[in-house]
Structure formats: C-alpha cells, structure tokens
Amino acid sequence: MTQELGGFAALELHPNIVAAVVATGYEEPSAIQQQSIPIILAGHDMIGQAQTGTGKTAAFALPILHRIDPSKREPQALILAPTRELALQVATAFETYAKQMPGVTVVAVYGGAPMGPQLKAIRNGAQIVVATPGRLCDHLRRDEKVLATVNHLVLDEADEMLKLGFMDDLEVIFKAMPETRQTVLFSATLPQSIRAIAERHLRDPKHVKIQTKTQTVTAIEQAHLLVHADQKTSAVLSLLEVEDFDALIMFVRTKQATLDLASALEARGYKAAALNGDIAQNQRERVIDSLKDGRLDIVVATDVAARGLDVPRITHVFNVDMPYDPESYVHRIGRTGRAGREGRALLLVTPRERRMLQVIERVTGQKVAEVRLPDAQAVLDARIKKLTNSLAPLVADAEATHGDLLDRLTADIGCTPRALAAALLRKATNGQALTLAAIEKERPLVPNSAPRERTGERSGDRPERSSADRERRAPMPLAEGRARCRTALGARDGIAAKNLLGAILNEGGLAREAIGRIQVRDSFSLVELPEDGLERLLTKLKDTRVAGKQLKLRRYRED
Ligand code: ADP
Ligand code: MG
C-alpha cells in the first residue's frame, strides 16, 4: 500500500472498503470521518455534530459496512434519513463504498413508490436498509418483524427529521429493534429535543463535535459563481479570460478531476499541470518549483496534494469543487495573499451546494459576493487588452529593427502597411476574429442566468457522475443513410451545436435537412451527416475552423 492510502488505511477498515473509497477519489478522511469511524467500529453509540458537507455519510457508512456480515442475508443496519432524496443519496453512497464487497445489498425505502418491491428486497436479504421514517412505519404495520435482526441504527440529519414531525414514527421504530443494537445519531444542531432522544435511546454515547471556528481571511477578496456541475470547465475557461492572474491554483475533489481539468487547460494553451496524491513526491516538487519560477501558471490540485504549498506568485485560488468543510476552504484560499500581498478567491457553487456557501460565510465571518460569468464584451475587452499589453512594449524600437523589412514586404506584396499589419495580427491571434460577434458565437454558456434549484437535484448529482461517465453514454441509433462523424472540439473548447451547424452549412454547402443530430460533449462532438458523398464533404471541410480551432471532422465508428 502506498503512503497516500495512509489516511483511510490507518482506520482499520476492511481493505475492500478502503479500496472502494480510494477508487472514488477521496484521499484523506475528513475530520468527522477521522473521529467517528474508530468509535463506530468499536461498537459504541455515538452523537456526531457537524455541518452539512463535512462528509457525515462516509463517517457512518464505512464502519457500518465493516461491521455487517455479508454472508447473512437479513437486514443488519438501518439508516433513517428525513427525505426521499437524502435516503436515495445515502443508499447510493453505500452502494459506492460497497462496490468491492460481494454479497452486500442495499435497499432504499421511501414513500411515493410501491411498497411491495421494497418489502421483497428486504426479505430477499438486503443487509442495509436506508429509509424515511414514515414509509418504514408503514412497513412495520404490515410486518412488525422486519427490523428484528437490525443491530445498527443510524439517524442521519436527526434535527431535520424532528422538524419534519417524525418524532412519533421514530419511537415506533426504536421499539421494533433489538435493545442491544448500536445507535449512532448525526445532526448539524443539537436542540433539546434531540438530546432527549439521545438520553432515552442511546447507551453511554461518545460525542464527536467538529468545531467550525471563525477564521479571518481579510487580505483575500472572495467571490462565488453559481454554475451547474457539468458547466464547470467552461465556466473556468471563461473566468480565466478576464481574471488578471499571475499564478493560480485550482482545487478539485478527485485525482481524476485534477487530470481532466489540467488537460482541458493545456489544450487551451495555458501552462497547467495536475497535482494529486498519485504523483510521486519528487515529481510534485518539480511541479511546485515550476509554478514558482513561471514555467507553469496554473496547478490543479486536490487538498492533500496542495498541503503546505507556499508560492508567493499565486494571485488567485479557484475552488472548482466545493471543499468539504469550511476549514479546508480557509486553508485553500490561504494559498493566495501570501506575504501580505492581495489575493483573490473564486468559488464555484452548484445549486445543491448553496447551504455550504452559507456555512462558509458564517465560519469566515465574511460575505462571499456573487459574481456572474463574464459576458462577451468583457471577454473581448480582456483579449484586446492582453494583445495590447503584449505588443505595446515592442512598438518603441520595432521600426528600427523591422522598418526596412516592412517597406520591402509592402512593396513585394503590393499592399498598404495597414493591410500587412492586419495580416500579422491575424497570425498573432491564430485567426481569431476579435469581434463581439465572433466571441458570442464561440461561447457555450449564457451569462447572467444562474442555475435554479431543480427538484430531485440533490439525489441526481451525488455521487457526482464524472464527465467521463457521461461521455461513455451510448449514442442514439443512426437514421438510414446517415453517417456519424466526430470532432475533437467540444464544450470545453467553447463549442455549441449552433457553431458546428453554422460552419458545416456554410463551408459544406449542405441544406439544413441534410444534417442530423449534433451532440456536443465536453471534449468532443458528434454530428450526423449524409452517407452519400461523405468523403467529398469531409475533404471540403478539411480546413474549416470553429471558434478559432480546426474542426478536423472524421467518420466515427463505434465498435
Ligand atoms: P454531509 O452529510 O456531512 O452533508 P456528505 O456525506 O453528503 O456530507 O459529503 C459531502 C460531499 O463530500 C460528498 O460529495 C462526498 O462524496 C464528499 N466527500 C466525503 N468524504 C470525502 C473525503 N474524505 N474526501 C473527498 N470527498 C469527500
Ligand atoms: Mg448528510
């Protein structure tokens, strides 16, 4: 086992559980996990108090998975959650952590779905039952023995359950379980009503409280941006256009995300590299040295890999993924504003993470202002400013060194100096037209439309589906006479379906009806084109550029 597994491996969990956790990309246990797991493993009752987003699910799921007996086909652990969404989330998390434990099954029991299949799953030997109290009581009314074999009980978000009026249901459930069971209670707050439950139903509980102390981070200007999870890469690329940074560190949650984002940035011409726990220590040091001396400008890191990182050049911190506790937020943004300089920290927030934003504001005692994605005008201004800044210093003596060459070239070509200067600018900008229209065309995100909370979103995005998963989604069946073609340009290159359509219509000389579905993914796009004359069409489109990049459309065979 490598040293990086140290964090979770040191907790004495079953190696298959540790392996599954590491495979999800967690590098280190969070504070609540570090403290709760040994207590639950030892069989104690426990009261855990910690804010949202601190990683409570794994804090109970991992030790409980360790303690159940997969060879026994009967319910052994019950997790109660206040809502159907939370129950589904917890059930999904259990399934993820149990991936390498054959024979372990999880059933989610909640209202609004037929009772029959739920009961059947329990009777078929699911060891882990994740339920909302109301629906579970319905089951108990049909069969008072369903919980007779359960010897671990977890009340997740206990304060929320009481707020929703589940007190009486809880009492019914407690009675239906063996008194010798282990009971663990998690709650963000501990009002009197919760203490009373603990008093009556927990035996000699250990207390774990994760303190969220106020910390000051005054030298750092903080802002947040609301964005959907699948738009993060595009949002980062837009922000980079307008932020005036020297060196920048981006934080994500998993090793895979460090690699994905770093390569998206490199593809855009940024000097970027990934920094994660899988990278050998000496290689990590090289990355940090490169960031120090300017061979790199952007490092995409996990929390663990960036620990102790001290690079005075860092002017910006992007929290691309939410930190899992306010302390690590403070820690992360402390990577900028070093040595009394000013720093800027940006936090991307998905709709379901808004509560964590509030926690961060409370803990830091500061408001984290909302910013919007830069609009096309702002991007245009920023690009022109960059160009101006790069050319201005050359103007002073360029005429002395290259003036004669200019005269000669204008004479040879037979053009005006203005025409030649424009041609050189086109070259310097790689053919990008620096106009509002061109920039509007290449931008896939609509600024100033903050995402709204969608129903079911909480269950929908955790564990978050990786973009790789999404990209693996099977394409739709193809219509007769059409061929599927692929380009390596995707949303992260600023491509939208309408850009592809426009380019193919214009340069390919096709009728709109001849073009089938266009699917834009993060790192590539698929377009359905007529099979008839395809080779000719692709040759015609050979030099077509979209958003300043070569389209390079090729026939795509899925096999
Ligand atoms: P809580 O129940 O305290 O609100 P969750 O258990 O829902 O928090 O966890 C919040 C997020 O943090 C989830 O997306 C989860 O996958 C992630 N997470 C939990 N533990 C870790 C860890 N040790 N390392 C990285 N991410 C983690
Ligand atoms: Mg939770």
pLDDT in tens, 434-445: 898 888 877 554
- Does 426 share its domain with 342? no
Task: Give the residues across from 208 on adjacent strands.
Answer: 48
Query: CATH number of the domain that 88 lies in?
Result: 3.40.50.300
Same domain, 186 and 320: no
Query: Is pLDDT larger for residue 364 or for residue 12?
Result: 12
pLDDT score of 335: 81
What is the average pLDDT across 247-260?
94
Which residue stretches of 376-496 are H helix?
376-413, 417-428, 436-442, 457-460, 467-472
4 or 355: which leads in pLDDT: 355
Of the chain, the percentage scoring pLDDT greater than 70 comes to 89
Atom of ligand 1 nearest to the CA of 51: 3
**33, 94, 324, 360: which to mutate for ligand 1, most atoms within 8 A of CB?**
324
**pLDDT single digits (tens) 301-325:** 998 787 767 788 899 999 999 998 8
If one compares 64 and 286, the residue with the highest pLDDT of the two is 64
Do 365 and 383 belong to one domain? no
β-strand pairing of 482-487 with 554-555: antiparallel
Give first-to-last CA distance, the chain, whole Å: 36
Q: Give the distance (Å) from ligand 2 centre to CA of residue 57.
A: 5
Higher local confidence (pLDDT), 461 or 499: 499
Q: Is residue 28 part of a domain?
A: yes
163 contact partners, CB below 8 Å, separation of at least 6: 82
**Is residue 34 within 6 Å of ligand 1 at its C-beta?**
no
Main-chain phi, psi angles of 268, to 5 degrees:
-90, 5
For 342-353, the pLDDT digits (tens) are 789 999 999 888
Band (pLDDT 50/70/90 cuts) for residue 1 is very low
Question: Considering its fold, how many domains does the chain have in total?
Answer: 4
Cα 69 to ligand 1 centre (Å): 25
Residue nearest to atom 15 of ligand 1 (CA): 55
Q: Calculate how far, in angstroms, residue 172's C-alpha sits from the geometric centre of ligand 2.
A: 23
CB atoms within 10 A of CB 195: 12
Ligand nearest to the CA of 62: 1
DSSP class of residue 539 equals H
The pLDDT of residue 444 is 55
pLDDT at position 460 is 34
- What does the DSSP assignment read for 409-429? HHHHHT--HHHHHHHHHHHHT
Q: Which domain holds residue 340?
A: 220-373
Q: Is-contact 215 330, C-beta < 8 A?
A: yes
Q: Atom 10, ligand 1: which residue's CA is nearest?
A: 53
55 lines ligand 1 (CB under 6 A): yes
Spacing, Cα 53 to ligand 1 middle (Å): 6
Instruction: Tell me the two tokens of residue 427.
Output: 């070259």
pLDDT at 452 (0 to 100):
44
Residue 41 counted as domain residue: yes
Kindly report the average pLDDT of the chain as a whole number. Answer: 86
Which of 57, 86, 96, 159 has most ligand 1 atoms within 8 Å of its beta carbon, as the pocket-test mutant?
57
- Asked if the structure places residue 456 within a domain, the reply is no
Question: How much is the average pLDDT of 278-297?
Answer: 89
Q: Is the pLDDT of residue 475 over 60?
A: no
Q: Distance, CA 414 to ligand 1 centroid (Å)?
A: 66
Write the pLDDT tens digit of every residue in 393-420. Answer: 888 889 999 999 999 999 999 999 999 9
Bond prior to 463 in cis (omega within 30° of 0): yes
Query: pLDDT tier at 77 (50, 70, 90 boundaries)?
Result: very high
Spatial contact of 364 and 330, defined as CB atoms under 8 Å apart = yes
For residue range 194-223, what is the model confidence (pLDDT) as tens digits?
999 999 999 999 999 987 644 445 668 899
Quick check: helix, strand or coil at residue 159?
Answer: helix
Q: What share of the chain in percent tops pLDDT 90?
A: 50
pLDDT per residue over 33-55, tens digit each? 999 999 999 999 999 998 777 88
Q: Which of 91, 50, 84 minimizes the C-alpha distance to 185?
A: 50
Q: What is the C-alpha to C-alpha distance for residues 304 and 139, in angstroms, rounded to an integer?
A: 44
Radius of gyration of the chain (CA): 28
Do 232 and 368 have their domain in common? yes
How many whole angstroms separate alpha carbon 494 and alpha carbon 471? 17
User: What three-state secondary structure class fits 118?
Assistant: helix
pLDDT reported for residue 461: 35
Q: Report the distance separating Cα 278 and Cα 554, nearest Å.
A: 35
Distance 215 CA to ligand 1 centre (A): 22
**Tokens coding 141:** 């009314």
**Nearest-CA residue for atom 22 of ligand 1:** 26
pLDDT band, very low/low/confident/very high, at 17 (cuts 50, 70, 90): very high
CA of 385 to the centre of ligand 1 (A): 41
pLDDT band at 338 (very low <50, low <70, confident <90, very high): low
Could you tell me if 471 and 429 lie in one domain? Answer: no
Is 398 among the domain residues?
no
At residue 2, does pLDDT exceed 80?
A: no
* Residue 334 in contact with ligand 1 by CB distance below 6 A: no
| 459 assigned to some structural domain | no
Same domain, residue pair 288 and 151: no
Count CB neighbours of 331 within 10 A. Answer: 17
Please, are residues 291 and 266 in contact by the beta-carbon 8 Å criterion?
A: no
Return the axis-axis angle of helices 31-41 and 56-67, rounded to nearest 10°.
20
463 lines ligand 1 (CB under 6 A): yes
Please, which contacts does 327-331 make with residues 24 or more away whose CB atoms are closer than 8 Å? 327/31, 327/212, 327/213, 327/215, 327/363, 328/303, 329/360, 329/363, 329/364, 330/215, 330/217, 330/363, 330/364, 331/303
Distance CA(181)–CA(176), nearest Å, equals: 11
